[in-house]
Amino acid sequence: MNAHTRKRDICHADSQAKIDTLLAKVFYGSPNDMTGDFRTALLQHIEKHETNVTHLAAATGVSRDAINKLRAREGSTTNVENAMLIAAYYGKTVNEFVSMKPASEASVISALVELMRPEEQQRLAGKIREILAERARK
């Protein structure tokens, strides 16, 4: 390894955020609104909304096994993609989901769109354009 490659690798490693810092930002938001972890939030949402795990899995594409492991194992976590899909099911961003904050209207819409297939998203975008064009004509 030449000196330039070694220096580049060291600089690259130093510029990366530690994984626990990233998880804190993704799952908790700011330290002031930290109320728990993803697993705890999932358990609370399932209870509050009387969510059927089979339905949650089917609607999100997250396997029942992954959801059940989260539910059953203290301290268990999930990947960001699954976290986003599960939060979207409840109409929330991951931060809103974990902090148990009510979802804003914009995040509900965004979360619902994330659950749609690409062709459904295209149809929705077309409908939105139609609505905006109609409003502009009035």
pLDDT per position as a tens digit, 66-106: 999 999 998 888 999 999 999 999 988 888 899 888 878 88
Provide the 10 A C-beta neighbour count for residue 5: 9
Task: Write down the pLDDT at residue 27.
Answer: 37
Q: What are phi and psi of 9, to 5 degrees?
A: -65, -40
Task: Write down the pLDDT at residue 21.
Answer: 33
In which residue ranges of the chain is pLDDT below 70?
1-36
Rounded to whole angstroms, the Cα distance separating 30 from 138 reads 43
For residue 23, give the nearest of 42, 36, 9 by alpha carbon: 36
Task: Write down the pLDDT at residue 118.
Answer: 93
Task: Write down the pLDDT at residue 36.
Answer: 63
Rounded to whole angstroms, the Cα distance separating 37 from 56 reads 19
Sign of CA pseudo-dihedral 120, 114, 56, 80: positive
| Claim: this prediction has a pTM higher than 0.75 | no
Burial class of 88 by CB neighbour count within 10 A (0 to 12, 13 to 18, 19+): buried
- The alpha carbon of 72 is separated from its chain's Cα centroid by a whole number of angstroms, namely 20
